[in-house]
């Protein structure tokens, strides 16, 4: 169950700590007081999108925190462990969310950072939320099918159907891919073969273009390089009066000078190092000269090879890496086309097999749905009769449909509110009040078929009143015998059934509007019910009536 909800700086709520009880919790308050903020905070905690517009004016951040006490946390623990999070301790689950004005946010489960995906998955396990307009979803055929499958415990059979259908569609997509890409397969094979042959014959290699570009630069200037190298070598080591000869002579002179001037020994060492460096440079120039060859045939080959690289890059990409990538892709596509016929036959055989398996599973699912349809119709009929349709009846029609992930069935809910009237599709009912009561009846039936611990109804009693309000309150109290129910209501006939009553008040403090949540006990609860009966003026008649209403109902 949801035990505590904390809200801070969210919309009009500066700070609130709300304690919930088992059974039926009712939330009341005047229109605009901020009741929806509490539901909004819960929605936010369970993965709904939220942004900084929710932050109370003048504040840097808003936040909410919900504490759940779980009798069985195994399903929640399974989700947490799947995301690498620690499991609950003693069935305690605390979800916290902070939205900052800077645009950043923080999501925490038991003080562990999580994504919105985790919050959404936890929300689906923990809370069944019914908003003011959610009863319209009851008119959706897919929603009706979901309800039938939930009632009939058919999710395992349906999941099997979905898995086979997904396999079927994947095979058909693969077949379409093989059949696509243009009808001229032979032409594509010729083009790709020629492209592969052209690139393979050229045999481009990573790094080769850079190497031959350098060699081409040297070969193209070979004569001039050799002339310059000879001139430099003559000056350094090989010519008469070369620098090296001068260094040798200088060393001898400094050797004699050092006998008279000791510091000259240092100079002699420096000159010797210079001579060694001159020899090293000469050796490097010799190496360069050996690499340079004035060979017209080699230069022509280099010209042609570089032109070949330029041609490949113009046609297949701006770099050798791109050309090689085109080669690999073309080889793969060519293999694909050349083996297409055989693979098409294999896929077509696989499609026939998976279609047969799908239809077999869909028919088994249909049998389960047909059995469940009568039971669901009977159960909802009982519930709607308790909600004021004394002679109403509910039907569940099952029709064949085109194959889809959920099988081959379409469901149509029908409703006849009075004796002698034919059942009409639920979508043909104009009254939102009638649809709301049918939705409540459906929720009441399915409440016994799920393990979701918390059910929240935001104005499920809209467009009903009087005796119908009492019927709605009684039905909510029945649902609350097996679930924790939180209900926002404007009807005193519903409010009096609550085991725990919370009132939302709006007031002006200083120059700011604030919303506060107050748990009600006698006599404040009598006054709140009286206000709901007769407005702000609490007359003795209204107070007496409120006391009588509270005394006259059992509370879940």
Lowest-pLDDT range, 35-39, 417-421, 492-496, 548-552?
Answer: 417-421
Angle, helix 466-479 to helix 340-386, in steps of 10 degrees:
120
Q: Is the pLDDT of residue 402 over 90?
A: yes
Lowest-pLDDT range, 230-244, 330-344, 353-367?
Answer: 230-244
Element spanning 401, H or E? strand 393-404
One domain for residues 32 and 110: yes
Q: Could you tell me if residue 144 is inside a domain?
A: no
The CATH number given to whatever domain includes residue 46 is 3.40.50.300
Segment 109-118 shows an average pLDDT of 94
Terminal Cα-to-Cα distance of the chain (whole angstroms)? 14
Element spanning 412, H or E? strand 407-416
Q: Could you tell me if residue 58 is inside a domain?
A: yes
Q: Is the pLDDT of residue 133 over 70?
A: no
User: Which of residues 133 and 16 earns the better pLDDT score?
Assistant: 16
One domain for residues 96 and 230: no
Give the pLDDT of residue 410.
95
Cβ contacts of 230 within 8 Å, gap of 6 or more? 289
Give the pLDDT of residue 188.
83
Most confident of 106-120, 196-210, 266-280: 106-120
Give the pLDDT of residue 555.
63
What does the pLDDT look like over 466-478, one tens digit per residue? Answer: 788 888 999 999 9
Cα distance between residue 529 and residue 506, in whole Å: 17
338, 362, 390 — which closes off a domain? 338
Cα distance between residue 99 and residue 329, in whole Å: 48
Cα distance between residue 44 and residue 64, in whole Å: 8
What 3-state class would DSSP assign to 165?
Answer: helix
One domain for residues 126 and 229: no
- pTM attached to this predicted model: 0.65
User: Which of residues 232 and 155 earns the better pLDDT score?
Assistant: 155
Lowest-pLDDT range, 30-44, 153-167, 225-239, 391-405?
Answer: 225-239
Q: Is the pLDDT of residue 294 over 70?
A: no
Helix, strand, coil distribution of the chain in percent, nearest 5: 55, 20, 25
Q: How confident is the model at residue 149 (pLDDT cuts 50, 70, 90)?
A: very high
Q: Could you tell me if residue 424 is inside a domain?
A: no
Q: Phi-psi region for residue 327, left (φ > 0), alpha (ψ -120 to 50) or beta? A: alpha
288, 303, 338 — which closes off a domain? 338
Q: Could you tell me if residue 170 is inside a domain?
A: no
Distance, CA of 46 to chain centre? 14
Residue 127's φ and ψ, nearest 5 degrees, are: -135, 135
One domain for residues 205 and 334: yes
Q: Could you tell me if residue 376 is inside a domain?
A: no
One domain for residues 204 and 334: yes
Share of the chain above pLDDT 90, in %: 43
One domain for residues 115 and 201: no
What does the pLDDT look like over 239-261, one tens digit per residue? Answer: 777 887 788 888 888 888 888 88
Most confident of 226-235, 389-398, 430-439: 389-398
Q: Could you tell me if residue 517 is inside a domain?
A: yes
User: Which of residues 372 and 508 earns the better pLDDT score?
Assistant: 372
Q: Across the chain, what does the average pLDDT equal?
A: 87
Segment 11-23 shows an average pLDDT of 90
One domain for residues 331 and 196: yes
Segment 50-67 shows an average pLDDT of 90
What does the pLDDT look like over 441-472, one tens digit per residue? Answer: 888 898 877 778 999 988 787 767 778 888 89
Segment 331-358 shows an average pLDDT of 89
- Cross-sheet strand order for the sheet of 112-113: 13-19, 2-10, 61-69, 92-100, 105-109, 112-113
Q: How confident is the model at residue 274 (pLDDT cuts 50, 70, 90)?
A: confident
Q: How confident is the model at residue 265 (pLDDT cuts 50, 70, 90)?
A: confident
Q: Could you tell me if residue 325 is inside a domain?
A: yes
- Give CA angle at 33 (32, 39), nearest 5°: 90
Q: How confident is the model at residue 364 (pLDDT cuts 50, 70, 90)?
A: very high
Give the pLDDT of residue 280.
84
Q: Is the pLDDT of residue 430 over 70?
A: no
What residues make up the domain containing 462? 2-132+451-551
Give the pLDDT of residue 221.
67
323, 338, 353 — which closes off a domain? 338
Cα distance between residue 417 and residue 103, in whole Å: 51
Segment 119-135 shows an average pLDDT of 84
Q: Could you tell me if residue 195 is inside a domain?
A: yes
One domain for residues 127 and 217: no
Q: Is the peptide bond before 523 cis (omega within 30 degrees of 0)?
A: yes
Eight-class DSSP state of 83: T
Give the pLDDT of residue 246.
81
Give the pLDDT of residue 121.
94
One domain for residues 119 and 241: no
Cα distance between residue 68 and residue 459, in whole Å: 23
Q: Is the pLDDT of residue 492 over 70?
A: yes
CA distances from 81 to 5, 20, 70, 75 (A): 25, 28, 17, 10
Q: How confident is the model at residue 226 (pLDDT cuts 50, 70, 90)?
A: low
Give the pLDDT of residue 336.
80
Element spanning 150, H or E? helix 141-151
Give the pLDDT of residue 135.
67
One domain for residues 227 and 326: yes
One domain for residues 298 and 201: yes
Q: How many structural domains does the chain have?
A: 2
């Amino acid at each position: 169950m949801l035990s505590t909800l904390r809200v801070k700086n969210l919309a009009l709520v500066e700070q609130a700590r709300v304690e919930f009880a088992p059974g039926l919790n009712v939330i009341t308050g005047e229109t605009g007081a901020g009741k929806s903020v509490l539901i909004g905070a819960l929605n936010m905690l369970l993965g709904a999108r939220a942004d900084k517009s929710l932050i109370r004016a003048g504040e840097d951040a808003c936040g909410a925190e919900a504490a759940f006490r779980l009798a069985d946390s195994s399903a929640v623990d399974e989700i947490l462990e799947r995301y690498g999070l620690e499991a609950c301790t003693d069935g305690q689950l605390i979800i916290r969310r902070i939205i900052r004005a800077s645009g950043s946010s923080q999501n925490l489960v038991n003080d562990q950072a999580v994504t919105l995906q985790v919050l959404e998955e936890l929300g689906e396990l923990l809370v069944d939320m019914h908003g003011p307009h959610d009863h319209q979803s009851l008119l959706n055929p897919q929603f009706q099918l979901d309800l039938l499958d939930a009632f009939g415990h058919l999710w395992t059979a349906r999941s099997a159907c979905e898995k086979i259908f997904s396999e079927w569609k994947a095979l058909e997509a693969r077949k379409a891919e093989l059949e696509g890409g243009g009808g001229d397969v032979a032409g594509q094979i010729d083009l790709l073969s020629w492209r592969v042959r052209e690139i393979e014959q050229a045999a481009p290699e990573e790094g080769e273009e850079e190497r031959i570009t350098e060699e081409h630069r040297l070969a193209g200037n070979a004569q001039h390089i050799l002339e310059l190298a000879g001139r430099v070598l003559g000056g350094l080591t090989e010519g008469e009066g070369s620098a090296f000869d001068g260094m040798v002579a200088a060393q001898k002179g400094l050797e004699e000078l050092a006998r008279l001037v000791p510091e000259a020994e240092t100079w002699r060492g420096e000159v010797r190092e210079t001579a060694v460096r001159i020899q090293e440079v000469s050796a490097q120039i010799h190496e360069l000269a050996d690499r340079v060859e004035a060979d017209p045939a080699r230069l022509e080959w280099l010209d042609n090879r570089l032109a070949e690289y330029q041609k490949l890059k113009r046609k297949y990409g701006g770099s050798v890496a791109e050309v090689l990538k085109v080669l690999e892709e073309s080889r793969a596509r060519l293999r694909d086309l050349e083996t297409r016929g055989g693979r098409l036959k294999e896929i077509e055989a696989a499609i026939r097999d998976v279609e047969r398996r799908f239809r077999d599973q869909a028919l088994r699912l249909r049998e389960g749905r047909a059995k469940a349809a009568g039971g669901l119709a009977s159960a909802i009929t009982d519930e709607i009769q308790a909600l004021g349709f004394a002679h109403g009846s509910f039907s569940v029609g099952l029709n064949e449909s085109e194959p889809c992930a959920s099988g081959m069935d379409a469901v149509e809910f029908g409703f006849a509110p009075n004796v002698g009237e034919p059942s009409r599709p639920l979508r043909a009912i104009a009254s939102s009040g009638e649809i709301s009561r049918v939705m409540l009846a459906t929720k009441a039936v399915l409440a016994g078929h799920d393990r979701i611990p918390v059910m929240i109804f935001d104005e499920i009693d809209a467009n009903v009143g009087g005796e119908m309000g009492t019927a709605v309150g009684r039905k909510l109290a029945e649902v609350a015998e097996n679930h924790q129910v939180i209900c926002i209501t404007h009807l005193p006939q519903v409010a009096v059934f609550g085991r725990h009553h919370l009132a939302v008040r709006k007031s002006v403090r200083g120059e700011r509007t604030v919303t506060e949540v107050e748990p009600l006990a006698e006599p404040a609860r009598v006054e709140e019910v009286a206000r709901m009966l007769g407005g702000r003026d609490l007359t003795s008649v209204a107070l007496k009536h409120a006391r009588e209403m509270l005394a006259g109902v059992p509370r879940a």
